[in-house]
Amino acid sequence: MRIVLQSFRLAVFCIALFVTLAAYAGSASAGSLIEPAQLKQWIDHGYRTEKGERVVIINVVPNPSDRFSWFAGDAAKLQEMVKARFGDRSPQYLLIGQLDRRHELGHIPGSLYFTAHAGGEVADRSEGPMVTEHEVGIGARINAMLQKLGVTKDDLLVLASPQQNPWMVCAPRLWWTLYYWGFSPDKLKLLDGSTKGYADAGYPLEKGIAQPAVTPSTFSLAQLPTRHFQIRVSLGEMISLVDSGATSNGSVYLLDARQPPAAYYLKDERTAAGRPGSDGIPDIYQVPGFGYDAKTQLFTRNADRAVFTLSQMLFAAAANDGKQPRVPFSMTVNPPVPLPNRWLAMHHTPQNPNFAIPLCVKDSSFEGIIKGAHLTKTPQYNITVPALAGPDHRYKSKAELLKLFAKAGIDGTKPIILYCNTGAVSAFYFYALHEICGFKDVRMYDGSWVEWGNLTAFEPVDTSYVRHDVEMVFPAYPSLIPEVSFFDGRNNYLEWDGNRLVDAVTGRPASVAQVKPGGDLNGNLRWDTVHRSEHVVFRASEKVQDPKRYQTYNSDTDWPDEETTPAYAGTADKIGREDAACCH
């Protein structure tokens, strides 16, 4: 009898263990990433899962401009768009034809087109001190968005990004938003490799703009049983974490998910005459057989007067008549940049001899990092997007990701907070850490640098601490990264010593003739993020711009005008409180 009872207890334990493991396997940490073969099976099954759930495929396109070009796979139209921005000699332009020849333009059959920045997924919202773009979408607009797509609470959603959005940046952002509002990973899937992965698996894409007929639904977030509001960090909480020292003392792991300028450097190992030695000019501007015009920023090949951009000279085979690129380039294997190097967007301090600035590609008042933040690439580790996902746009395996993250000190034993420019790239990291690696305590600072980098109570008086670029080059297209930003002069940086801003290079305090109180917050330090940041350099503004320099002030890319409330006296968490009161 005792043996039988012990056997029964053992059986009960095994069953309980099995149930526990099965529950864990079906939790948010596993199962929401699906293979192209799985999606193809559902498509062939009439867009139904094995359980009979209707499958809705959403193609998440980043911008509303020329809304159907990527969805339709219109190579001619895409080349026209790229030509207007980059020129017909650019690697970006040439790659469109390659994608077309490889049958990688178009969309997954049965997909619904969705524009991330215009569909309600994100919105201009205020936490109190400032209105910020690209915050999490408002509940009512999420309802309207999903109703327009015909989504019901019983449907299974599959999210994918188009080919110009490598590594699924837009699809994870929509995944994060819908998860925030209460969708379960059982009903919310991400396609590994997105559209490219589907094509690479041998499944045909469709061209054209035809979409399935949609019957608008009556869906409401109120139909979902829960919310996941804990995955979002408000501005107020982010400031409190910095002020408490949590981001600096290791209590939390703060990751700046913006991608750094490429780990690539311009050697200066020969003179203009070609002899060994340094003359202060990077060798790339002194290429034998080529002339370079600093005004037009173009290279001309002496043999046939063919003209090339810096992008082509660095990264494209076009400048070498079909041979390998002049300078082999890889975001994952190139060595760290030896510093100081005045030609690249790099910081140099005794504490950070090899430190690449993650530059903001959106409007901001200053560059830098949130105090205590870790970077995606250092001489010790590399967790940039290209290191975490392959050229096929697919995430690496859980085992590979755990190993890579561990080298950067991320092992899930402490809370992880992510930010980037606008919360799109950090959503890629959120998905990798939370869904694939299975780390539970992962959150995003939703405002990211587009909010943080504009809450300034300081402004530059002269150009001592103002970023100056000659140009930015893009190795390939479609590609968000890597990018290399070239400066036309030395850039000094500022650190906060606890009482004042200090020049990081000279160690001397910045004078009021160089930096003064002011900025968007009119000198009010309560919400100021400059003194809560490291390695600060201001963006250009009209009144400090030197007209003799290459770059002229551009209101689209330089210091913007923001709607701020310097005297705001709340807790800077308005969005969270608004959402908590919504959609019951």
pLDDT in tens, 308-365: 877 677 665 555 565 545 554 444 444 444 444 444 544 444 444 445 556 676 778 9
Position 196: which residue type?
K
Nearest to residue 158, comparing CAs of 198, 121, 209? 198
Per-residue model confidence (pLDDT) at position 207: 93
Q: Indicate the pairing of strand 458-460 with strand 515-517.
A: antiparallel
Per-residue model confidence (pLDDT) at position 544: 60
Cβ pair 104, 95 in contact under 8 A:
no
Assign a CATH topology to domain 229-264+339-563: Oxidized Rhodanese; domain 1 (3.40.250)
Chain Cα centroid distance, residue 115: 17
Nearest to residue 413, comparing CAs of 427, 402, 398, 401? 402
Residues in the chain: 584
Report whether the peptide linkage leading into residue 478 is cis, meaning its omega lies within 30 degrees of zero: yes
With b for 16 or more beta-carbon neighbours within 10 A and e for fewer, the 146-163 pattern comes to: bbbbbbebebbbbbbbbb
The 10 Å Cβ neighbour count of residue 349 is 16
Beta strands in 318-360 (DSSP E): 346-349, 352-356
Residue owning tokens 């001190």: 129
Which pair of tokens denotes residue 315?
Answer: 């990264």
What gap in Å lies between CA 533 and CA 549, rounded to an integer?
27
Helix extents (H) in 272-412: 310-315, 385-388, 398-407
Per-residue model confidence (pLDDT) at position 493: 83
- Please tell me the CATH superfamily of domain 29-227, with its number: Rhodanese-like domain (3.40.250.10)
In which residue ranges of the chain is pLDDT below 50?
Answer: 1-30, 167, 262-265, 324, 328-343, 345-354, 475-482, 488, 546-553, 555
Phi, psi of 223, rounded to the nearest 5 degrees: -75, -15
Per-residue model confidence (pLDDT) at position 170: 86
What gap in Å lies between CA 359 and CA 366, rounded to an integer?
9
All structural domains of the chain with their residue ranges = 29-227, 229-264+339-563, 266-328
Which residues are 300's β-sheet partners?
291, 307
Phi, psi of 506, rounded to the nearest 5 degrees: -90, -25
Q: Is residue 416 exposed (0-12), middle (13-18) or buried (19+ Cβ within 10 Å)?
A: buried
CA-atom Rg of the chain in angstroms: 25
Can 29-227 and 229-264+339-563 be said to share one CATH topology? yes
Per-residue model confidence (pLDDT) at position 24: 31
pTM above 0.85, yes or no: no
At 125, which helix (H) or strand (E)? strand 122-126
